[in-house]
Structure 1
Amino acid sequence: MPRITVNVDGSSYTDDVQPRTLLVQYLREQLGKVGTVVGCDTSNCGACTVHMDGHSVKSCSVLAVQADGHDVTTVEGLARDGQLHPMQEAFHDNHALQCGFCTPGMIMQALDLLADNPEPDDEQVREGLEGNLCRCTGYQNIVNAVQDAAQRMQPGAGPPMEQAQETSTRTHVAGGQ
């Protein structure tokens, strides 16, 4: 059984995994990162979107062994010291999370979008999120939230998010911890 080491939300994890284990399964079942949602299992909905080395990936289409040696950020890794990330705040304030099923993936994809284009117009937001589906059809509120977050995240718009994270190491061996 392969052994992987992955930095997830600032903590290093070393685990034995089955070669066929998907990253979404590893995050949820072995690490307890249940904010990463299992949606369609076909990479069509985007609910499982996380960042790997700073770029969004659909974790249902990535094997856990492919994440070996990489940095993964989940929606749980965005908040700092009990304070929501500006994107999370904007989704809350703009009622862009109706049932909440798509929210983690939308937030992670929206952050990737803003990293490439910090001031997108509505059409660019819609295009940037096109691989993520909302079951409640709350798209206009989601677009509004991304626009709001873009403003909140502009330099000088507020207190900067801390980039440094404390790290810890945990070793997990099949059959025990």
Structure 2
Amino acid sequence: MIRPFLTVSTGTLASRLLGFARDAMIAALLGTGPVADAFLVAFQLVNVVRRLLTEGALNAALVPAWLRLREAEGAVAAAAFAGSVLGTVSAALIVAAASIGLLMPFVITALAPGFAGHPTLQLAVTYADLMLPYLAFAGPAAVMMALMNAQARFALTAFSPLLFN
């Protein structure tokens, strides 16, 4: 019990420290102004989706369902279920990313209404479009991390946010 606790705690602490360093570096490079505002709004969109997928309901729902299925029907049925979830999440996020990409000016305007009618809006849309493909990869990665958690393999899941930072 102590080893998984220390693994997850160390990964979380390292992620928070690296996230702080990332934010400090962004502030140092971009400073304040419209470029920084546009970047931060675009980054927030991706960051919120990442948090919802990796720290949200997907993990909380998938782990107990997969464990229950593995115990009741065996490893083959659990693997088929995991593959089905992986395919569904991947397809849904590809469709969502494409839809959001088409509607990005409206999405950014909804997130930052003060950008409407300013050149900052187009800059934020461009940044968000560049970050959008991340969403298509975040979902499958979240499914795989949930399955690793279900199998008591915590290290990769605990330290994977370091790559995002």
Instruction: With the length of structure 2 as denominator, give the TM-score of the two structures.
Output: 0.30
* Structure with a larger share of its residues in helix: 2
* Structure with a larger share of its residues in strand: 1
- Higher RCO (CA < 8 A, seq sep 6+): 2
Larger Rg, first or second structure (1 or 2)? 2
